[in-house]
Chains A and B, each alone.
Chain A
Amino acid sequence: MGGLLTGEEWSALRLSFQVAACAALAGLPWAIAVGYLLARASFMGKWVIEVLVNLPLVLPPVVTGYLLLVCLAPRGPLGSLLEAWFGWRIVFTWWGAALASTVMSFPLMVRAARLAFQGVDPRLEMAARGLGAGPLAAFFTISLPLAQRGLIAAWTLGFARGLGEFGATIMVAGNIEGQTRTIPLAIYTLANRPDGGPQSWRLVALSILLACGALIASEFLERKRTAYDVA
Chain B
Amino acid sequence: MTLLSFACQHQYPSGFQLGVAFQVDCRFTALFGPSGSGKSSILAMIAGFVRPHRGRIVLGDEVLLDTERGVCVPPEKRHVGVVYQDSLLFPHLRVEQNLRYGAKHRRRRRKVDFTRVVEVLEIGPLLRRFSRNLSGGERQRVALGRALLSGPEILLMDEPLASLDAPLKLKILLYLERAIAEWDVPTLYVTHAQAEVHRAAQCVVVIDRGSLVTCGPPGEALSRLRPVSDGAE
Interface size for B (C-beta < 8 A) is 28
B13 shortest CB reach to chain A, Å? 11
A123-B84, A124-B90 as given contacts; A133 in contact with B132, CB under 8 Å: no
Complex Cα distance, B88 from A138, in Å, reads 14
In the complex, are the beta carbons of B101 and A128 less than 8 A apart? yes
Which residues of B lie under 8 Å from residue A126 when comparing CB positions?
49, 75, 88
Closest to B49 in A: A126
Contact A132 B105 (CB under 8 A): yes
Give A227 to B130 CA distance when docked, in angstroms: 9
Please give me the residue from chain B that is nearest to A121 by CB atom.
B88
Interchain CB contact (< 8 A) of B106 among A124, A131, A145, A227: A131
* B81/A130 in contact, CB under 8 A: yes
- Distance in angstroms from A72 CB to nearest chain B CB is 41
In whole Å, how far is A117's beta carbon from the nearest beta carbon of chain B? 14
B146 beta carbon closer than 8 Å to chain A: yes
Residue of A nearest to B150 (CB): A131
Instruction: Tell me whether A133 and B76 are in contact (CB under 8 A).
Output: yes
Output the residue of B74, B75, B129, B130 with the most chain A CB within 10 A: B75
Interchain CB contact under 8 A, A137 and B105: yes
Type the 1/0 row for B48-60, where 1 means its CB is closer than 8 Å to any CB of A.
1100000000000
Instruction: Decide: A132 and B102 in contact? CB cutoff 8 A.
Output: yes
With A130-B80, A130-B82, A134-B76 given, is the CB distance from A231 to B130 under 8 Å?
yes
In the bound assembly, the distance between CA atoms of A142 and B75 in angstroms comes to 16
Once bound together, how far apart are the Cα atoms of A110 and B146, in whole Å?
A: 34
Closest beta carbon of chain A to B161's beta carbon, Å: 18
Of residues 108 through 128 on chain B, the ones whose CB sits less than 8 Å from some CB of chain A are 108
A226 within 8 A of B: yes
Q: B92 near A: Cβ within 8 Å?
A: yes
With A228-B130, A231-B130 known to touch, is A130 a contact of B92 (CB < 8 Å)? no
The interface residues of chain B lying within 8 Å CB-to-CB of A131 are 76, 81, 101-102, 105-106, 146-147, 150
Determine the interface band of chain A, counting residues with CB < 8 A from chain B. 20 to 34
Chain B: which residue is nearest A134 at the CB level? B76
Report the minimal beta-carbon distance from B83 to chain A, rounded to whole angstroms. 10
A215: interface (CB < 8 Å): no
Task: Please encode chain B, from 138 to 152, with 1 for each CB lying within 8 Å of some chain A CB and 0 for all others.
Answer: 000000001100100
Closest to A127 in B: B88
- Indicate if the CB atoms of B82 and A127 lie closer than 8 Å: yes
B36 within 8 A of A: no
Asked whether any CB of chain B lies closer than 8 Å to the CB of A129, the reply is yes
Using CB atoms, name the residue of chain A closest to B100: A131
Decide: A130 and B105 in contact? CB cutoff 8 A: no
Q: Residue-by-residue, is A141-175 near B (CB-CB < 8 Å gives 1, otherwise 0)?
A: 11001100000000000000000000000000000
Contact with A along B30-64 (1 / 0, CB 8 A): 00000000000000000111000000000000000
The answer on a CB contact under 8 Å between B105 and A124 is: no
Q: Are A132 and B92 in contact (CB under 8 A)?
A: no
**Can you list 30 A-B contacts with CB-CB less than 8 angstroms, sorted by A residue number?**
A121-B88, A124-B90, A127-B84, A128-B90, A128-B105, A129-B75, A130-B48, A130-B49, A130-B80, A130-B150, A131-B81, A131-B106, A131-B146, A131-B150, A132-B107, A132-B150, A133-B105, A133-B106, A134-B74, A134-B76, A137-B105, A138-B76, A141-B105, A145-B92, A146-B91, A226-B92, A227-B130, A228-B92, A229-B132, A231-B129
Sample of 12 more A-B contacts, CB < 8 Å, known A135-B76, A231-B130? A126-B75, A126-B88, A127-B82, A127-B90, A128-B105, A130-B47, A130-B75, A131-B102, A132-B76, A133-B76, A133-B101, A142-B90
